[in-house]
Chains A and B, each alone.
Chain A
Amino acid sequence: MIWLDTIVQGILLGGLYALFAAGLSLVFGIMRLVNLAHGDLIVMGAYLILTIVSVLGINPFLAALIAMPIMFALGWLLQRVVLNRVLGPDILPPLLVTFGLSIVLQNALLEGFSADSQRIGAGLLETASWNLGPVTVGIMPVLTFASAILVIVGLNQLFYRTSLGRAFRATSDDPVTASLMGIKPAGVFAMATGIAMIVVTIAALYLGMRANFDPTIGPARLIYAFEAVIIGGLGSLWGTLAGGIIIGVAQTLGAAVSPEWQILAGHVAFLVVLLIKPRGLFPRAYD
Protein backbone atom coordinates (compact mmCIF):
# COMPACT_ATOMS: atom_id res chain seq x y z
CA MET A 1 0.00 0.00 0.00
CA ILE A 2 3.01 2.28 -0.46
CA TRP A 3 1.28 3.90 -3.44
CA LEU A 4 -1.80 4.79 -1.47
CA ASP A 5 0.38 6.36 1.17
CA THR A 6 2.32 8.31 -1.45
CA ILE A 7 -0.85 9.62 -3.05
CA VAL A 8 -2.33 10.68 0.28
CA GLN A 9 0.87 12.56 1.14
CA GLY A 10 0.73 14.19 -2.29
CA ILE A 11 -2.87 15.31 -1.82
CA LEU A 12 -2.00 16.82 1.53
CA LEU A 13 1.02 18.57 0.01
CA GLY A 14 -1.39 19.99 -2.58
CA GLY A 15 -3.10 21.82 0.28
CA LEU A 16 0.12 23.72 0.94
CA TYR A 17 0.45 24.66 -2.72
CA ALA A 18 -3.18 25.75 -2.81
CA LEU A 19 -2.47 28.02 0.17
CA PHE A 20 0.51 29.48 -1.67
CA ALA A 21 -1.70 30.02 -4.70
CA ALA A 22 -5.01 31.24 -3.26
CA GLY A 23 -3.89 34.84 -2.74
CA LEU A 24 -2.38 34.96 -6.22
CA SER A 25 -5.58 33.56 -7.70
CA LEU A 26 -7.74 36.06 -5.79
CA VAL A 27 -5.77 39.08 -6.97
CA PHE A 28 -5.52 37.84 -10.54
CA GLY A 29 -9.23 37.04 -10.65
CA ILE A 30 -10.27 40.51 -9.54
CA MET A 31 -7.81 42.83 -11.22
CA ARG A 32 -5.89 40.75 -13.79
CA LEU A 33 -2.69 41.50 -11.93
CA VAL A 34 0.03 38.87 -11.79
CA ASN A 35 1.98 39.60 -8.64
CA LEU A 36 5.53 38.32 -9.18
CA ALA A 37 6.38 39.24 -5.58
CA HIS A 38 3.74 36.86 -4.19
CA GLY A 39 6.29 34.24 -3.08
CA ASP A 40 8.47 36.88 -1.43
CA LEU A 41 5.45 38.28 0.38
CA ILE A 42 4.84 34.79 1.80
CA VAL A 43 8.46 34.64 2.97
CA MET A 44 8.12 38.12 4.46
CA GLY A 45 5.01 36.89 6.30
CA ALA A 46 6.99 33.97 7.68
CA TYR A 47 9.66 36.34 9.03
CA LEU A 48 6.96 38.53 10.54
CA ILE A 49 5.41 35.55 12.34
CA LEU A 50 8.85 34.36 13.45
CA THR A 51 9.60 37.81 14.87
CA ILE A 52 6.31 37.97 16.75
CA VAL A 53 6.89 34.47 18.13
CA SER A 54 10.36 35.33 19.40
CA VAL A 55 9.53 38.80 20.73
CA LEU A 56 6.28 37.89 22.50
CA GLY A 57 7.17 34.27 23.19
CA ILE A 58 3.79 33.03 21.98
CA ASN A 59 2.44 30.13 19.96
CA PRO A 60 2.89 30.54 16.16
CA PHE A 61 -0.86 30.26 15.49
CA LEU A 62 -1.50 33.21 17.82
CA ALA A 63 1.40 35.06 16.24
CA ALA A 64 -0.18 34.54 12.80
CA LEU A 65 -3.43 36.04 14.10
CA ILE A 66 -1.49 39.13 15.17
CA ALA A 67 0.36 39.23 11.84
CA MET A 68 -2.88 39.15 9.81
CA PRO A 69 -4.03 42.74 10.36
CA ILE A 70 -0.47 43.97 9.83
CA MET A 71 -0.23 42.08 6.54
CA PHE A 72 -3.70 43.29 5.52
CA ALA A 73 -2.61 46.88 6.07
CA LEU A 74 0.62 46.35 4.13
CA GLY A 75 -1.30 44.84 1.21
CA TRP A 76 -3.87 47.61 1.26
CA LEU A 77 -1.12 50.25 1.19
CA LEU A 78 0.87 48.41 -1.49
CA GLN A 79 -2.18 48.40 -3.74
CA ARG A 80 -3.23 51.98 -2.98
CA VAL A 81 0.20 53.58 -3.19
CA VAL A 82 1.94 51.49 -5.84
CA LEU A 83 -0.04 48.90 -7.78
CA ASN A 84 -3.17 50.96 -8.56
CA ARG A 85 -0.94 53.41 -10.39
CA VAL A 86 0.41 50.81 -12.79
CA LEU A 87 -2.80 48.87 -13.51
CA GLY A 88 -4.14 49.55 -16.98
CA PRO A 89 -4.66 48.12 -20.41
CA ASP A 90 -0.92 47.42 -20.69
CA ILE A 91 0.02 44.32 -18.67
CA LEU A 92 3.76 45.00 -18.67
CA PRO A 93 4.06 47.79 -16.04
CA PRO A 94 2.54 45.73 -13.18
CA LEU A 95 4.81 42.80 -14.08
CA LEU A 96 7.90 45.02 -13.98
CA VAL A 97 6.86 46.69 -10.73
CA THR A 98 6.11 43.44 -8.90
CA PHE A 99 9.32 41.90 -10.26
CA GLY A 100 11.19 44.87 -8.80
CA LEU A 101 9.29 44.50 -5.54
CA SER A 102 10.35 40.86 -5.39
CA ILE A 103 14.03 41.84 -5.59
CA VAL A 104 13.62 44.65 -3.07
CA LEU A 105 11.89 42.31 -0.60
CA GLN A 106 14.56 39.62 -0.93
CA ASN A 107 17.34 42.11 -0.32
CA ALA A 108 15.54 43.79 2.56
CA LEU A 109 14.98 40.40 4.22
CA LEU A 110 18.63 39.46 3.69
CA GLU A 111 19.67 42.75 5.26
CA GLY A 112 17.28 42.37 8.18
CA PHE A 113 17.47 38.65 8.92
CA SER A 114 20.71 37.43 7.22
CA ALA A 115 20.90 34.48 4.84
CA ASP A 116 20.73 31.88 7.65
CA SER A 117 17.81 29.58 7.28
CA GLN A 118 15.11 29.79 9.92
CA ARG A 119 12.12 27.84 11.08
CA ILE A 120 9.03 28.66 13.08
CA GLY A 121 9.06 26.15 15.93
CA ALA A 122 5.77 24.32 16.38
CA GLY A 123 6.82 21.94 19.17
CA LEU A 124 5.19 18.53 19.20
CA LEU A 125 3.01 19.36 16.22
CA GLU A 126 6.04 19.09 13.96
CA THR A 127 6.29 15.34 14.41
CA ALA A 128 2.84 14.25 15.60
CA SER A 129 0.99 11.88 13.30
CA TRP A 130 -2.15 9.79 12.97
CA ASN A 131 -2.09 6.17 12.09
CA LEU A 132 -5.04 5.43 9.82
CA GLY A 133 -4.49 1.76 8.99
CA PRO A 134 -2.66 1.62 5.67
CA VAL A 135 -1.50 5.22 5.80
CA THR A 136 0.07 7.40 8.44
CA VAL A 137 -0.54 11.12 8.08
CA GLY A 138 1.31 13.91 9.83
CA ILE A 139 -0.87 16.28 11.84
CA MET A 140 0.88 19.26 10.25
CA PRO A 141 0.05 18.28 6.63
CA VAL A 142 -3.55 17.57 7.69
CA LEU A 143 -3.81 20.98 9.36
CA THR A 144 -2.36 22.59 6.25
CA PHE A 145 -4.86 20.87 3.99
CA ALA A 146 -7.77 21.71 6.29
CA SER A 147 -6.64 25.34 6.36
CA ALA A 148 -6.56 25.43 2.55
CA ILE A 149 -10.15 24.15 2.43
CA LEU A 150 -11.24 26.67 5.05
CA VAL A 151 -9.55 29.51 3.17
CA ILE A 152 -11.26 28.54 -0.08
CA VAL A 153 -14.66 28.10 1.55
CA GLY A 154 -14.21 31.43 3.31
CA LEU A 155 -13.20 33.27 0.15
CA ASN A 156 -16.10 31.74 -1.77
CA GLN A 157 -18.52 32.83 0.95
CA LEU A 158 -17.07 36.31 0.72
CA PHE A 159 -17.39 36.31 -3.07
CA TYR A 160 -20.90 34.93 -3.35
CA ARG A 161 -22.61 35.98 -0.13
CA THR A 162 -21.50 39.52 0.66
CA SER A 163 -21.92 42.90 -0.96
CA LEU A 164 -18.12 43.31 -1.00
CA GLY A 165 -17.95 40.05 -2.96
CA ARG A 166 -20.51 41.35 -5.47
CA ALA A 167 -18.40 44.49 -5.82
CA PHE A 168 -15.32 42.31 -6.43
CA ARG A 169 -17.05 40.39 -9.20
CA ALA A 170 -18.68 43.45 -10.74
CA THR A 171 -15.37 45.33 -10.80
CA SER A 172 -13.65 42.31 -12.29
CA ASP A 173 -16.29 42.23 -15.06
CA ASP A 174 -16.30 45.94 -15.88
CA PRO A 175 -14.66 48.60 -13.70
CA VAL A 176 -16.26 51.57 -15.51
CA THR A 177 -19.81 50.29 -15.10
CA ALA A 178 -18.96 49.30 -11.51
CA SER A 179 -18.02 52.92 -10.80
CA LEU A 180 -21.48 53.92 -12.07
CA MET A 181 -22.86 51.77 -9.23
CA GLY A 182 -20.90 53.81 -6.71
CA ILE A 183 -18.04 51.30 -6.47
CA LYS A 184 -14.54 52.79 -6.27
CA PRO A 185 -12.35 50.36 -8.22
CA ALA A 186 -9.17 51.63 -6.52
CA GLY A 187 -10.72 50.93 -3.11
CA VAL A 188 -12.02 47.51 -4.14
CA PHE A 189 -8.58 46.54 -5.43
CA ALA A 190 -6.96 47.67 -2.17
CA MET A 191 -9.43 45.52 -0.18
CA ALA A 192 -8.69 42.56 -2.45
CA THR A 193 -4.93 42.82 -2.00
CA GLY A 194 -5.41 43.28 1.75
CA ILE A 195 -7.49 40.10 1.91
CA ALA A 196 -4.96 38.28 -0.28
CA MET A 197 -2.32 39.21 2.27
CA ILE A 198 -4.36 37.59 5.04
CA VAL A 199 -4.27 34.40 2.97
CA VAL A 200 -0.54 34.97 2.43
CA THR A 201 -0.12 35.07 6.22
CA ILE A 202 -1.78 31.67 6.58
CA ALA A 203 0.45 30.30 3.81
CA ALA A 204 3.47 31.84 5.56
CA LEU A 205 2.57 30.16 8.85
CA TYR A 206 2.64 26.68 7.31
CA LEU A 207 5.63 27.44 5.10
CA GLY A 208 7.58 28.46 8.18
CA MET A 209 6.46 25.62 10.47
CA ARG A 210 6.93 22.82 7.93
CA ALA A 211 10.40 23.55 6.62
CA ASN A 212 13.37 25.83 6.81
CA PHE A 213 13.16 29.08 4.94
CA ASP A 214 15.54 31.87 4.02
CA PRO A 215 15.08 35.19 2.18
CA THR A 216 15.66 33.71 -1.28
CA ILE A 217 13.07 30.92 -1.47
CA GLY A 218 10.12 33.12 -2.51
CA PRO A 219 10.38 32.72 -6.29
CA ALA A 220 10.38 28.90 -6.02
CA ARG A 221 7.11 29.03 -4.01
CA LEU A 222 5.73 31.42 -6.62
CA ILE A 223 6.30 28.85 -9.36
CA TYR A 224 4.24 26.18 -7.58
CA ALA A 225 1.54 28.74 -6.89
CA PHE A 226 1.52 29.80 -10.52
CA GLU A 227 1.28 26.27 -11.78
CA ALA A 228 -1.57 25.49 -9.41
CA VAL A 229 -3.52 28.59 -10.52
CA ILE A 230 -2.99 27.90 -14.20
CA ILE A 231 -3.80 24.19 -14.06
CA GLY A 232 -6.93 24.96 -12.07
CA GLY A 233 -8.21 27.54 -14.51
CA LEU A 234 -7.68 31.25 -13.94
CA GLY A 235 -10.03 32.67 -11.34
CA SER A 236 -11.42 29.41 -9.90
CA LEU A 237 -10.38 28.79 -6.30
CA TRP A 238 -11.49 25.15 -6.20
CA GLY A 239 -9.61 24.75 -9.46
CA THR A 240 -6.56 26.14 -7.71
CA LEU A 241 -6.90 23.49 -5.01
CA ALA A 242 -7.22 20.80 -7.68
CA GLY A 243 -4.13 22.23 -9.39
CA GLY A 244 -2.20 22.18 -6.13
CA ILE A 245 -3.19 18.56 -5.53
CA ILE A 246 -2.10 17.51 -9.02
CA ILE A 247 1.32 19.07 -8.52
CA GLY A 248 1.60 17.68 -5.00
CA VAL A 249 0.71 14.12 -6.06
CA ALA A 250 3.03 14.29 -9.06
CA GLN A 251 5.85 15.40 -6.79
CA THR A 252 5.39 12.67 -4.18
CA LEU A 253 5.02 10.02 -6.89
CA GLY A 254 8.14 11.35 -8.61
CA ALA A 255 10.02 11.30 -5.32
CA ALA A 256 8.87 7.73 -4.65
CA VAL A 257 10.47 6.65 -7.92
CA SER A 258 13.64 8.57 -7.31
CA PRO A 259 14.23 11.59 -5.05
CA GLU A 260 15.73 13.79 -7.76
CA TRP A 261 12.54 13.42 -9.79
CA GLN A 262 10.34 15.14 -7.23
CA ILE A 263 10.50 18.70 -8.57
CA LEU A 264 10.63 17.71 -12.22
CA ALA A 265 7.56 15.47 -11.92
CA GLY A 266 5.52 18.43 -10.65
CA HIS A 267 6.50 20.57 -13.63
CA VAL A 268 5.84 17.71 -16.07
CA ALA A 269 2.35 17.23 -14.61
CA PHE A 270 1.75 20.94 -15.11
CA LEU A 271 2.74 20.72 -18.78
CA VAL A 272 0.69 17.58 -19.37
CA VAL A 273 -2.47 19.17 -17.95
CA LEU A 274 -1.92 22.23 -20.10
CA LEU A 275 -1.49 20.06 -23.18
CA ILE A 276 -4.80 18.32 -22.53
CA LYS A 277 -6.73 21.35 -21.23
CA PRO A 278 -4.99 24.55 -22.33
CA ARG A 279 -7.38 26.77 -20.35
CA GLY A 280 -7.05 24.75 -17.16
CA LEU A 281 -9.43 22.33 -15.49
CA PHE A 282 -12.11 24.85 -14.48
CA PRO A 283 -11.88 27.79 -16.84
CA ARG A 284 -14.28 30.71 -16.48
CA ALA A 285 -17.07 30.68 -19.02
CA TYR A 286 -16.08 34.03 -20.53
CA ASP A 287 -13.23 36.50 -20.41
Chain B
Amino acid sequence: MTLLETQNLTAHYGDFQALFGVDIRLEAGQTIAIIGANGAGKTTLMRSIAGVLRNAPGMIRYDGTAIGALPADEVMAMGVSMVPEGRKLFPSLSVEENLLVGTYGRKIVGHWSLDTVYRLFPILREKRHVPGTALSGGQQQMVAIGRALMSNPRVLLCDEISLGLAPVVIRDIYAALPEIQSSGASVIVVEQDIGQAMKVASTVYCMMEGRVTLSGAPGTLSRGAIHAAYFGAHA
Protein backbone atom coordinates (compact mmCIF):
# COMPACT_ATOMS: atom_id res chain seq x y z
CA MET B 1 0.00 0.00 0.00
CA THR B 2 1.29 3.46 -0.88
CA LEU B 3 1.39 5.53 2.29
CA LEU B 4 2.84 8.78 0.96
CA GLU B 5 3.53 10.06 -2.51
CA THR B 6 4.31 13.28 -4.30
CA GLN B 7 2.96 13.89 -7.78
CA ASN B 8 4.58 16.46 -10.04
CA LEU B 9 5.57 18.45 -6.92
CA THR B 10 6.82 21.97 -7.53
CA ALA B 11 8.03 24.43 -4.90
CA HIS B 12 9.15 28.04 -4.96
CA TYR B 13 10.95 30.52 -2.72
CA GLY B 14 9.53 33.78 -4.05
CA ASP B 15 10.51 33.90 -7.72
CA PHE B 16 13.04 31.12 -7.36
CA GLN B 17 11.78 27.67 -8.30
CA ALA B 18 13.43 24.97 -6.18
CA LEU B 19 11.49 21.83 -7.24
CA PHE B 20 10.43 20.99 -10.81
CA GLY B 21 7.91 18.14 -10.75
CA VAL B 22 9.21 15.66 -8.18
CA ASP B 23 7.57 12.22 -7.89
CA ILE B 24 8.49 9.96 -5.01
CA ARG B 25 6.59 7.12 -3.39
CA LEU B 26 6.80 5.58 0.08
CA GLU B 27 5.11 2.22 0.67
CA ALA B 28 3.86 1.35 4.15
CA GLY B 29 6.65 -0.26 6.13
CA GLN B 30 9.32 0.83 3.66
CA THR B 31 12.42 2.97 4.15
CA ILE B 32 13.45 5.11 1.21
CA ALA B 33 16.41 7.44 0.79
CA ILE B 34 16.73 10.78 -0.98
CA ILE B 35 20.31 11.58 -1.94
CA GLY B 36 21.80 14.54 -3.72
CA ALA B 37 24.41 17.25 -3.44
CA ASN B 38 24.03 20.41 -1.43
CA GLY B 39 21.30 22.59 -2.97
CA ALA B 40 19.64 19.73 -4.89
CA GLY B 41 16.27 20.43 -3.23
CA LYS B 42 16.14 17.61 -0.66
CA THR B 43 15.25 19.85 2.27
CA THR B 44 12.71 21.71 0.15
CA LEU B 45 11.08 18.34 -0.61
CA MET B 46 10.97 17.44 3.10
CA ARG B 47 9.61 20.86 4.09
CA SER B 48 6.91 20.54 1.43
CA ILE B 49 5.80 17.16 2.71
CA ALA B 50 5.84 18.36 6.33
CA GLY B 51 3.70 21.39 5.48
CA VAL B 52 6.28 24.09 6.28
CA LEU B 53 6.07 24.99 2.58
CA ARG B 54 2.54 24.94 1.19
CA ASN B 55 1.80 23.42 -2.20
CA ALA B 56 -1.23 22.60 -4.32
CA PRO B 57 -3.30 20.01 -2.40
CA GLY B 58 -2.96 17.13 -4.86
CA MET B 59 0.81 17.37 -5.15
CA ILE B 60 1.23 15.37 -1.93
CA ARG B 61 -1.02 12.48 -0.96
CA TYR B 62 -0.81 10.74 2.40
CA ASP B 63 -2.91 7.72 3.27
CA GLY B 64 -5.35 8.62 0.49
CA THR B 65 -5.73 12.29 1.48
CA ALA B 66 -4.44 15.30 -0.47
CA ILE B 67 -2.26 17.09 2.12
CA GLY B 68 -0.20 19.40 -0.10
CA ALA B 69 -1.89 22.56 1.16
CA LEU B 70 -2.18 21.65 4.85
CA PRO B 71 -0.11 23.55 7.46
CA ALA B 72 2.63 21.74 9.36
CA ASP B 73 0.69 21.27 12.59
CA GLU B 74 -2.14 19.48 10.76
CA VAL B 75 0.22 17.27 8.76
CA MET B 76 1.95 16.33 12.00
CA ALA B 77 -1.36 15.56 13.69
CA MET B 78 -2.09 13.09 10.88
CA GLY B 79 1.10 11.18 11.68
CA VAL B 80 3.90 12.66 9.59
CA SER B 81 6.78 13.73 11.81
CA MET B 82 10.06 15.40 10.85
CA VAL B 83 13.60 15.50 12.20
CA PRO B 84 14.57 18.84 10.67
CA GLU B 85 17.93 19.58 9.11
CA GLY B 86 20.25 21.09 11.71
CA ARG B 87 18.30 19.39 14.56
CA LYS B 88 16.55 22.61 15.62
CA LEU B 89 16.25 21.81 19.34
CA PHE B 90 14.42 24.41 21.41
CA PRO B 91 17.15 26.19 23.39
CA SER B 92 14.95 27.18 26.33
CA LEU B 93 13.71 23.62 26.85
CA SER B 94 15.54 20.83 28.65
CA VAL B 95 16.21 17.52 26.91
CA GLU B 96 13.12 16.00 28.47
CA GLU B 97 10.97 19.00 27.64
CA ASN B 98 12.17 18.86 24.04
CA LEU B 99 11.00 15.26 23.94
CA LEU B 100 7.67 16.07 25.60
CA VAL B 101 6.92 18.91 23.23
CA GLY B 102 6.94 16.29 20.48
CA THR B 103 3.60 15.01 21.73
CA TYR B 104 1.90 18.40 21.82
CA GLY B 105 -0.17 18.04 18.66
CA ARG B 106 -0.76 14.29 18.60
CA LYS B 107 -1.35 12.16 21.66
CA ILE B 108 -1.29 8.68 20.18
CA VAL B 109 -0.45 5.78 22.44
CA GLY B 110 2.06 3.48 20.78
CA HIS B 111 5.51 2.07 21.10
CA TRP B 112 7.19 5.42 21.76
CA SER B 113 7.15 7.20 25.11
CA LEU B 114 9.76 8.93 27.25
CA ASP B 115 10.71 5.54 28.58
CA THR B 116 11.24 3.81 25.23
CA VAL B 117 13.10 6.81 23.80
CA TYR B 118 15.41 6.73 26.84
CA ARG B 119 15.94 3.02 26.30
CA LEU B 120 16.77 3.67 22.65
CA PHE B 121 19.25 6.45 23.57
CA PRO B 122 20.27 5.81 27.22
CA ILE B 123 22.56 8.86 27.38
CA LEU B 124 19.48 11.10 27.09
CA ARG B 125 18.07 9.79 30.36
CA GLU B 126 21.24 10.92 32.15
CA LYS B 127 21.05 14.33 30.51
CA ARG B 128 17.33 14.80 30.71
CA HIS B 129 17.43 17.98 32.82
CA VAL B 130 20.18 19.65 30.79
CA PRO B 131 19.22 22.25 28.14
CA GLY B 132 19.03 20.44 24.81
CA THR B 133 21.53 22.78 23.22
CA ALA B 134 24.21 21.98 25.83
CA LEU B 135 24.64 18.47 24.38
CA SER B 136 27.16 17.22 21.82
CA GLY B 137 26.06 17.17 18.18
CA GLY B 138 25.31 13.45 18.19
CA GLN B 139 23.33 13.67 21.41
CA GLN B 140 21.37 16.62 20.04
CA GLN B 141 20.54 14.53 17.00
CA MET B 142 19.26 11.79 19.31
CA VAL B 143 17.00 14.32 21.01
CA ALA B 144 15.72 15.53 17.63
CA ILE B 145 14.95 11.96 16.57
CA GLY B 146 13.36 11.10 19.92
CA ARG B 147 11.26 14.27 19.79
CA ALA B 148 9.92 13.27 16.37
CA LEU B 149 9.18 9.72 17.57
CA MET B 150 7.25 10.79 20.68
CA SER B 151 4.09 11.34 18.62
CA ASN B 152 4.26 7.74 17.34
CA PRO B 153 4.34 8.85 13.70
CA ARG B 154 3.42 6.66 10.75
CA VAL B 155 5.91 8.48 8.58
CA LEU B 156 9.26 9.75 9.87
CA LEU B 157 11.18 12.25 7.75
CA CYS B 158 14.91 12.45 8.64
CA ASP B 159 16.73 15.36 7.01
CA GLU B 160 20.52 14.79 7.04
CA ILE B 161 20.72 13.22 10.47
CA SER B 162 24.41 12.42 9.91
CA LEU B 163 25.40 15.95 8.93
CA GLY B 164 28.52 17.08 10.77
CA LEU B 165 28.82 13.95 12.93
CA ALA B 166 31.80 11.61 13.32
CA PRO B 167 31.46 8.17 11.67
CA VAL B 168 31.16 6.30 15.00
CA VAL B 169 28.37 8.66 16.07
CA ILE B 170 26.60 8.20 12.75
CA ARG B 171 26.78 4.45 13.28
CA ASP B 172 25.23 4.81 16.76
CA ILE B 173 22.40 6.89 15.39
CA TYR B 174 21.68 4.58 12.48
CA ALA B 175 21.68 1.65 14.92
CA ALA B 176 18.33 3.03 16.11
CA LEU B 177 16.72 2.60 12.70
CA PRO B 178 15.62 -1.07 13.03
CA GLU B 179 13.66 -0.33 16.21
CA ILE B 180 12.09 2.72 14.55
CA GLN B 181 11.05 0.57 11.59
CA SER B 182 9.67 -2.20 13.76
CA SER B 183 7.62 0.35 15.73
CA GLY B 184 5.58 0.70 12.56
CA ALA B 185 7.02 3.91 11.12
CA SER B 186 7.84 4.18 7.43
CA VAL B 187 10.95 6.28 6.98
CA ILE B 188 12.39 8.73 4.48
CA VAL B 189 16.08 9.45 5.07
CA VAL B 190 17.76 12.36 3.34
CA GLU B 191 21.52 12.05 3.03
CA GLN B 192 24.42 13.50 1.11
CA ASP B 193 26.37 10.38 2.04
CA ILE B 194 25.46 7.83 -0.62
CA GLY B 195 26.89 4.79 1.20
CA GLN B 196 24.77 5.29 4.30
CA ALA B 197 21.60 5.72 2.24
CA MET B 198 22.26 2.59 0.16
CA LYS B 199 22.65 0.47 3.28
CA VAL B 200 19.28 1.27 4.84
CA ALA B 201 16.89 2.03 1.99
CA SER B 202 14.94 -0.30 -0.28
CA THR B 203 14.51 2.48 -2.85
CA VAL B 204 16.87 5.36 -3.48
CA TYR B 205 15.95 8.61 -5.23
CA CYS B 206 18.77 10.81 -6.43
CA MET B 207 18.04 14.52 -6.84
CA MET B 208 19.84 17.26 -8.71
CA GLU B 209 18.76 20.85 -9.27
CA GLY B 210 15.19 20.30 -8.14
CA ARG B 211 14.53 17.11 -10.12
CA VAL B 212 14.71 13.38 -9.46
CA THR B 213 17.48 12.24 -11.78
CA LEU B 214 17.58 8.57 -10.87
CA SER B 215 15.65 6.11 -8.72
CA GLY B 216 15.58 2.42 -8.01
CA ALA B 217 16.58 -0.32 -5.58
CA PRO B 218 20.19 0.15 -4.43
CA GLY B 219 21.35 -3.15 -5.94
CA THR B 220 20.11 -2.21 -9.40
CA LEU B 221 21.92 1.13 -9.65
CA SER B 222 25.43 1.23 -11.09
CA ARG B 223 28.11 3.41 -9.62
CA GLY B 224 28.42 5.35 -12.88
CA ALA B 225 24.71 6.02 -13.12
CA ILE B 226 24.61 7.32 -9.53
CA HIS B 227 27.64 9.48 -10.13
CA ALA B 228 26.03 11.03 -13.20
CA ALA B 229 22.68 11.54 -11.44
CA TYR B 230 24.34 13.05 -8.36
CA PHE B 231 26.87 15.39 -9.91
CA GLY B 232 25.50 15.82 -13.45
CA ALA B 233 26.96 14.35 -16.63
CA HIS B 234 29.73 16.90 -16.88
CA ALA B 235 31.27 16.00 -13.52
Known: A182-B106, A183-B73, A184-B73. A177 touches B84 (CB 8 A): yes
- Say which one of B91-99, B181-189, B196-204, B227-235 lies at the interface with A: B91-99
Q: Verify B90–A179 contact, CB threshold 8 A.
A: no
B47-79 vs A: 1/0 string, CB under 8 Å? Answer: 000111000000000000000000111001100
Contact, CB under 8 Å: B101 / A167 = yes
Interface string of B151-176 (1 = CB under 8 A from A): 10000000000000000000000000
- Bound CA–CA A86/B52 (angstroms): 19
Indicate whether A181 sits within 8 Å of B91 (C-beta atoms), given known contacts A166-B97, A176-B52: no
A286 within 8 A of B: yes
> Are A181 and B76 neighbours in the complex by a CB distance under 8 Å?
yes
Minimal beta-carbon separation of A71 from chain B (angstroms): 26
* CB nearest to B50 among chain A residues: A180
Within 8 A of B (CB), among A170-207: 170, 172-174, 176-184
Hey, which chain A residues are within 8 Å of B104, CB to CB? Answer: 163, 166-167, 170, 181-183
For A181, list chain B residues within 8 Å (CB). 73, 76, 101-102, 104-105, 147, 151
Q: In angstroms, how far is the closest chain A Cβ from the Cβ of B179? A: 22
B100 at the binding interface (Cβ < 8 Å)? yes
Cα–Cα distance between A180 and B104 once the two chains are bound (Å): 10
- Bound CA–CA A177/B91 (angstroms): 12
A118 to chain B, nearest CB (A): 41
A180 touches B82 (CB 8 A): yes
Query: Which of under 10, 10 to 19, 20 to 34, or 35 or more describes the interface residues of B?
Result: 20 to 34
Of A163, A179, A182, most B-chain CB atoms within 10 Å: A182
Q: How far is the CA of A177 from the CA of B50 in the complex (A)?
A: 11
Q: Is the CB of B84 within 8 A of A180?
A: yes
Q: Which residues of A contact B84 (CB under 8 A)?
A: 177, 180
Q: Hey, which chain A residues are within 8 Å of B51, CB to CB?
A: 179
A267 within 8 A of B: no
In the assembled complex, the CB of A93 is this many whole angstroms from the nearest CB of chain B, namely 20
Question: Is the beta-carbon distance between B101 and A180 smaller than 8 angstroms?
Answer: no
Report yes or no: A182 in contact with B82, Cβ–Cβ below 8 A: no
A221 at the interface (CB under 8 A from B): no
Could you say which residues of chain A place their CB within 8 Å of the CB of B119?
none
CA distance A217 to B25 in the complex (A): 63
Chain B residue, CB-CB nearest to A284:
B92
Q: How large is the interface on A (under 10, 10 to 19, 20 to 34, 35 or more residues)?
A: 10 to 19
Determine the residue in chain A with the shortest Cβ distance to B100. Answer: A166
| A169 sits at the interface (CB 8 A) | yes
- Is A174 within 8 A of B73, CB to CB? no
Interface pair B71/A177, CB less than 8 Å apart? no
Q: A142-179: which have CB < 8 Å to B?
A: 163, 166-167, 169-170, 172-174, 176-179
The answer to whether B93 touches A183 (Cβ under 8 A) is: no
Q: In whole angstroms, what is the CA distance A166 to B92 when docked?
A: 9
Nearest CB of chain B from residue A26's CB, rounded to whole Å: 15
Q: In the complex, what distance in Å separates the CA atom of A177 from the CA atom of B84? A: 8
Instruction: Return chain B residues, CB-CB under 8 Å to A167.
Output: 101, 104
B88 close to A (CB within 8 Å): yes
Most buried by B among A167, A179, A183, A284: A179
Determine the distance from Cα of A163 to Cα of B101 in the docked complex, in whole angstroms. 7
Known: A179-B73, A182-B73, A182-B151. Is A169-B92 also a contact (CB below 8 A)? yes
CB distance from A100 to the nearest CB of B (A): 29
What are 28 pairs between A and B in contact, CB < 8 Å?
A163-B100, A163-B101, A163-B104, A166-B100, A167-B104, A170-B92, A170-B93, A170-B101, A173-B91, A176-B52, A178-B90, A179-B71, A180-B50, A180-B52, A180-B81, A180-B82, A181-B76, A181-B102, A181-B147, A182-B105, A182-B106, A182-B151, A183-B104, A183-B105, A184-B71, A184-B73, A284-B92, A286-B91
A: which residues have CB within 8 A of B?
Answer: 163, 166-167, 169-170, 172-174, 176-184, 284, 286
Chain B interface residues (CB < 8 Å from chain A): 50-52, 71-73, 76-77, 81-82, 84, 88, 90-93, 97, 100-102, 104-106, 147, 151
Given contacts A173-B93, A177-B88, 17 further A-B contacts (CB under 8 A): A166-B100, A167-B104, A172-B92, A173-B90, A173-B91, A173-B92, A179-B71, A180-B50, A180-B76, A181-B76, A181-B105, A181-B147, A182-B73, A182-B104, A182-B151, A183-B73, A183-B105
A-B pairs, top 10 by smallest CB distance, nearest first, are A182-B105, A179-B72, A182-B76, A177-B88, A173-B90, A170-B90, A169-B92, A184-B73, A182-B73, A179-B73
